[in-house]
Copies of this chain bind each other. A is one copy, B any other.
Amino acid sequence: MQDLMVAIDGGGSTCRAAIADRSGRILGRATTGPANIVSAPQEARANIVAATQAVLAEAGLADCSLSQLPALLGLAGVNTSTPDTLAEPPLPFARTVFVDDVEIAFEGAIGEGDGLIAIFGTGSVFMSRRGGKVTKAGGWGFVSGDQASGARLGQALIEQTLLAHDGLRAQSGLSRALLGEYGDDPGRLVAFATAAAPVDFARLAPRLFKAADEGDGLALAILTEACGFIDRALDHFGWGDCPRLCLMGGLAPLYRPRLAARHRDRLSEPRADALTGAVAMARRHFHPAAAPPRP
Task: Please report A residues at the B interface, Cβ cutoff 8 Å.
Answer: 38-39, 79-81, 136-138, 140-141, 143-145, 147, 155, 158-159, 162-163, 166-168, 186-187, 189-191, 193-194, 196, 232-233, 236
Contact = CB atoms under 8 A, between A and B. Distances in A.
A128 to B, nearest CB: 11
A144 B158 contact: yes
A143 B159 CA distance: 8
SS class, residues of chain A in contact with chain B: helix
B144 A159 contact: yes
Number of copies: 2
Central interface residue in A80, A137, A158, A159, by most chain B CB within 10 Å: A80
Contacts of A196: 143
Given A168-B232, A233-B168, A236-B167, A162 B190 contact: no
Nearest to A201: B143
A187 B136 CA distance: 13
Contact of A166 (B39, B81, B137): B137
A40 to B, nearest CB: 12
B166 A138 contact: yes
A291 to B, nearest CB: 36
